[in-house]
Structure 1
Amino acid sequence: MSSFTIKDLARKLSVSPSTVSRALSDHPDISSATKRKVVEAAEKYHYQPNQLAQSLQKKRSNTIGVIVPEIRHHFFSNVISGIEEVAYEHGYIIMVCQSNETLSREIINTQALVSNQVAGLLIAISSETTNSEHLSAVIHHNVPLVQFDRVVEELDTSKVVIDDYRAAYGAVTHLVESGYRRIAHLAGQDGIALNRHRFEGYRDAMRDHGLVVDEKYHLHGGYREEDGRAGAEEYLAMDVLPEAILAINDPVAVGLFTRFKEAGLRIPKDVALVGFSDTPAAALIEPALTTVYQPAFEMGRTAVALLLKQFEAGKDFTPETVTLETELLVRGSSAVRVRS
Structure 2
Amino acid sequence: MKNKTTIHDIAKALSIDASTVSRALNNSPRVNQKTKDRILSKANELGYQRNLLASNLRKNKTNTIGVIVPRISRHFFSSVISGIEEAAYDAGYNVIICQSLEQLKRERDIVGTLLANRVAGVLLSVSMETNDYDHLLNMKNNGTPFLFFDRHCDIEGISSVLIDDVQGGFDATEHLILNGCKNIGHFSGPQKLSIYKNRLAGYIKALEKYKIPYRPELVLRSSLMEIDGTEGAKTLLSLPHKIDGLFSANDIAAIGAMKYFKNEGIRIPDEIAIVGFSNEPISEVIDPSLTTIDQPGFQIGQISTKLLLEEINKSSNLKKANKTILKSSLIERDSSRK
- Shorter-normalised TM range: 0.7 to 0.9
- Whether the 8 Å contact between 2:185 and 2:236 is mirrored in structure 1 is no
Spell out the pairing of 1:285-296 with structure 2 (5 A cutoff): 285-296=286-297
Which residue identity lines up with residue 184 of structure 1 in the other structure?
G
Q: Which residue of 2 aligns with 1:22?
A: none
- Which secondary structure state, in structure 1, belongs to the residue aligned with residue 335 of structure 2? helix
Q: Which residue of 1 aligns with 2:90?
A: 89
- Whether the 8 Å contact between 1:136 and 1:155 is mirrored in structure 2 is no
Q: Which residue of 2 aligns with 1:257?
A: 258
- Whether the 8 Å contact between 2:172 and 2:293 is mirrored in structure 1 is yes
Q: Which residue of 2 aligns with 1:325?
A: 327
Change (3 A) 1:228 1:155: farther
Q: CA deviation at 1:57?
A: 9.5
Spell out the pairing of 1:136-147 with structure 2 (5 A cutoff): 136-147=137-148
Q: Which residue of 2 aligns with 1:221?
A: 222
Q: Which residue of 2 aligns with 1:108?
A: 109
Change (3 A) 1:142 1:57: farther
Deviations, residues 157-203 of structure 1 (Å, cap 9, x unaligned): 11110010011112111111111100111001121111111111111
Q: CA deviation at 1:257?
A: 1.1
- TM (norm. structure 1) is 0.80
Q: CA deviation at 1:296?
A: 0.6
Deviations, residues 244-281 of structure 1 (Å, cap 9, x unaligned): 11101111111111121122211111211111111111
Q: How far apart are the structure 2 equivalents of 1:159 and 1:124?
A: 10
- Which secondary structure state, in structure 2, belongs to the residue aligned with residue 196 of structure 1? helix
Q: Which residue of 1 aligns with 2:100?
A: 99
Spell out the pairing of 1:1-340 with structure 2 (5 A cutoff): 59-314=60-315, 315-336=317-338
Q: Which residue of 1 aligns with 2:38?
A: none
- Which secondary structure state, in structure 1, belongs to the residue aligned with residue 232 of structure 2? helix
Q: Which residue of 2 aligns with 1:49?
A: none
Q: Which runs of 5+ in 2 are unaligned?
A: 1-55
Q: Structure 1 residues 153-162 or 70-79, which shifts more?
A: 153-162
Q: How far apart are the structure 1 equivalents of 2:309 and 2:133?
A: 23
- Whether the 8 Å contact between 1:58 and 1:117 is mirrored in structure 2 is no
- Whether the 8 Å contact between 1:229 and 1:256 is mirrored in structure 2 is yes
- Which secondary structure state, in structure 1, belongs to the residue aligned with residue 277 of structure 2? strand
- Which secondary structure state, in structure 2, belongs to the residue aligned with residue 135 of structure 1? helix
Which residue identity lines up with residue 300 of structure 2 in the other structure?
M
Q: CA deviation at 1:310?
A: 0.5
- Whether the 8 Å contact between 1:268 and 1:334 is mirrored in structure 2 is yes
Q: How far apart are the structure 2 equivalents of 1:140 and 1:247?
A: 38
**Which has more radius of gyration?**
2
- Which secondary structure state, in structure 2, belongs to the residue aligned with residue 276 of structure 1? coil
Q: CA deviation at 1:56?
A: 10
Which residue identity lines up with residue 97 of structure 1 in the other structure?
C
- Which secondary structure state, in structure 2, belongs to the residue aligned with residue 313 of structure 1? coil
- Which secondary structure state, in structure 1, belongs to the residue aligned with residue 108 of structure 2? helix
Q: How far apart are the structure 2 equivalents of 1:115 and 1:230?
A: 42
Change (3 A) 1:250 1:120: same
Q: CA deviation at 1:70?
A: 0.5
Q: Which residue of 1 aligns with 2:44?
A: none
Change (3 A) 1:58 1:274: same
- Whether the 8 Å contact between 2:187 and 2:224 is mirrored in structure 1 is no
Q: How far apart are the structure 1 equivalents of 2:260 and 2:134?
A: 39
Q: Structure 1 residues 153-162 or 62-71, which shifts more?
A: 153-162
Q: Which residue of 1 aligns with 2:18?
A: none
RMSD (CA atoms): 1.7
Q: CA deviation at 1:230?
A: 2.2
- Whether the 8 Å contact between 1:185 and 1:245 is mirrored in structure 2 is yes
Q: How far apart are the structure 1 equivalents of 2:189 and 2:58?
A: 40
Runs of 4+ in 1 over 3 A off after TM superposition: 55-58
Q: CA deviation at 1:224?
A: 2.2
- Whether the 8 Å contact between 2:279 and 2:295 is mirrored in structure 1 is yes
